[in-house]
Structure 1
Amino acid sequence: MTPVQEIHVAVGVVFRDGKVLIARRPDHVHQGGLLEFPGGKVETGETVQQALVREIREETGLRINPDLLEPVIGVRHDYGDKRVFLDVWETSSAEGDPEGREGQAIQWLDVQDLADVDFPAANRPIIRALKLPRRYAITGSAGDPSAFPEQLRQRLLETRPQVCLFRAPGLSDEVYERLAGWSLEACRASDSLLMLHGAPPLLECLPQATGLHLPWREARQFSSRPIPEGYLLAISCHDEEEIAHAEQLQADFITLGPVKPTSSHPGAPGIGWERFQELVAGAAIPVYALGGLVPDDILAARQAGAQGIAGIGFWWSGNGY
């Protein structure tokens, strides 16, 4: 049997005035009728940036500066009849007025209006990456439950993270649930989204939360997605096997590390950026770098293929973003 060849596809996410350029695939082509981001096959001898400049110009007439393209995510997907590697880059510097030069309908859509069902299956990780922030804030110690609410309120007001994970493994279930309810109200007051940390039943206790972050010890117990669609599912991962399992569970994103030595695991070495990049290259979902990171590490994380950084110290210690 002839092996199925992987097709390298350059995908462009073009932003303007807070909206993203979307086209509808012609009915007669593969995945016809569905929405897509502009782009196309990377030809022999081309860089992905060169391919994007060419494809977007041919499809829409927009002019793209290749030096102003930034990586978003790389996604490998097997459709059965074809395998693709979607190499996704974004820009906010496109010049000109777009038009469907190949007869396709085009439109500007708000990122929050992008729905999985309207796109080919391989696009789900792209949509997740566009909707997720660059920083995933994780709460520090809640060893003193009486002091935690005020500390969280102050950190939320000062840094206003888009997504906040309430992680407090040392608390009893009863105390965690009580503080989680308070944390939800505090997050709402600062326009932040709250993720819970632990097992799926937590969402039954607090269904208004945005989603659930499974530590690996919980995630390994499941063989399929353990929470309903509509919630975000995150999983803590450390190697290829765990990443593959997270993909099997249809996680929306993962944390991966520790990249650097961290005070939460004294004496344990980090995996380093080279190993981190190698692991991210094999992942088909957004990945947050985790472990001993500071705000200035966002650039290194992005260059390594990550969605951004996750952690405690870069916001909980009072250093801010």
Structure 2
Amino acid sequence: MTGLSSVVREVHVAVAVVIRDGRVLIARRPDHVHQGGLLEFPGGKVEPGETVQQALIREIAEETGLSVSESSLEPVIGIRHDYGDKRVFLDVWRTQDAAGVAEGREGQPVEWVLPDELRDEDFPAANRPIIRALRLPAVLPITGAIGNVTDGVSALRASLARSSAGLVVLRAPALAPVEYLRLSRHSLPECSEAGVGLIVHGGPAMYRETPGAAGLHLPGREAAALSARPISHGAWLGVSCHDAGQIAHATALGADYVTLGPVKPTATHPEAKAIGWDEFRRLAAAARVPVYALGGLGPDDVTRARDEGGQGVAGIRFWWPEL
């Protein structure tokens, strides 16, 4: 009718990331359904009266024949997405304790795939932050005080030797740009030998001038000056955020993850006011990208961060020596 606008209701969808031996269970959507032909994670609409956990247990059993316990389910990320003809809230949870043999009980082919083999173009657009969350580590170390290149490389080598990081953010604000580039180029072989991806910190030029870097982490001031993603989608893009507006801008830039904090008071940034876990939970719930809790945290806080809707924790002091 002329003059009336239709209201598109949001559909609450429970999504299961079922992990076994480091591989993730995926299926292909039937051609005749919404987003047909694309890959998907098990799951479906949360029915009236159901909790999301109950929906996950039911959907996993109906679609794959696997059984999971409610206690094995852990939150991963929540994603709101507008397809134009359909709005969905993807409530994503993981389990590593599914019993049985997986099969496509609705006629869909299923397979176990390594997270690094998941490609954006094979999934509906709303699923892409899930892929980021699966490929990103739970702990994101950040380098601490670095006064010169020699000491910085030495400290990085020592820190890598006693950690199991998958990625490291190379942050050294005290160094002049030319010295930072020397540091990043000398740090690449150290990270490569340890099997760790090096994410450079600063503006886009730092990434362009460091061939072989795994990605770029933008400080808030650098992100604020940009209107589009400054690097290719084949590399990681992170952004430092402190509030909802900065998270929204990072998302618009195409960030793969953000850090958010400080959650607790921290010695490295004593002037920054802590936001606390309640505010972290609120902001992470509204984010459409994986969110790392930052500030006074360490690996022991990963479970809390995930319970509050985060990807995990990022930080300095838990792994970086005092120089």
The answer to whether the aligner puts 1:142 opposite 2:141 as a matched pair is no
Distance 1:94 1:49 in 2: 14
The answer to whether the aligner puts 1:111 opposite 2:115 as a matched pair is yes
Letter in 2 for 1:28: H
The answer to whether the aligner puts 1:316 opposite 2:320 as a matched pair is yes
Task: Quote the residue 1:93 is aligned against.
Answer: 97
Q: CA offset at residue 224 of structure 1?
A: 1.4
Counterparts in 2 of 1:156 and 1:307: CA distance versus 1, 3 Å: same
Task: Quote the residue 1:194 is aligned against.
Answer: 198
Deviates more, 1:211-220 or 1:1-10: 1-10
2:227 to 210, 223, 234: 223
1:59 to 59, 63, 69: 63
Distance 1:267 1:253 in 2: 24
2:246 to 235, 239, 242: 242
Distance 1:269 1:231 in 2: 31
Deviations 1:16-51 (A, max 9, x none): 122111100000000000000000000111111100
Matched length: 318
Q: CA offset at residue 267 of structure 1?
A: 4.2
Pairwise CA RMSD? 1.1
Distance 2:124 2:197 in 1: 27
Q: TM-score, normalised by structure 1?
A: 0.97
1:40-79 equivalences under 5 Å are: 40-79=44-83
Q: CA offset at residue 237 of structure 1?
A: 0.6
Q: Would you say the 8 A contact 2:169–2:200 is kept in 1?
A: yes
Letter in 1 for 2:235: Y
Deviates more, 1:31-40 or 1:1-10: 1-10
SS in 2 for 1:80: coil
Q: CA offset at residue 273 of structure 1?
A: 0.2
Q: Would you say the 8 A contact 1:160–1:191 is kept in 2?
A: no
Distance 1:267 1:251 in 2: 26
Task: Quote the residue 2:158 is aligned against.
Answer: 154
SS in 1 for 2:297: coil
Q: Would you say the 8 A contact 1:73–1:87 is kept in 2?
A: yes
Distance 1:160 1:190 in 2: 9
Task: Quote the residue 1:80 is aligned against.
Answer: 84
Distance 1:287 1:240 in 2: 12
Distance 1:6 1:282 in 2: 15
The answer to whether the aligner puts 1:167 opposite 2:171 as a matched pair is yes
SS in 2 for 1:43: coil
Unaligned runs of 5+ in 1: none
Q: CA offset at residue 56 of structure 1?
A: 0.9
Q: CA offset at residue 227 of structure 1?
A: 1.1
Moved over 3 A (4+): none
Letter in 2 for 1:246: A
Q: CA offset at residue 294 of structure 1?
A: 2.5
1:254 to 247, 258, 269: 258
Q: Would you say the 8 A contact 2:75–2:307 is kept in 1?
A: yes
Q: CA offset at residue 146 of structure 1?
A: 2.5
Task: Quote the residue 1:3 is aligned against.
Answer: 7
Q: Would you say the 8 A contact 2:148–2:175 is kept in 1?
A: no
Q: TM-score, normalised by structure 2?
A: 0.96
Task: Quote the residue 1:125 is aligned against.
Answer: 129
Percentage of identical aligned residues: 58
Deviates more, 1:88-97 or 1:123-132: 88-97
Q: CA offset at residue 183 of structure 1?
A: 0.9
Task: Quote the residue 1:272 is aligned against.
Answer: 276
Deviations 1:65-100 (A, max 9, x none): 111111111111110111111111111111111111
Distance 1:69 1:82 in 2: 27
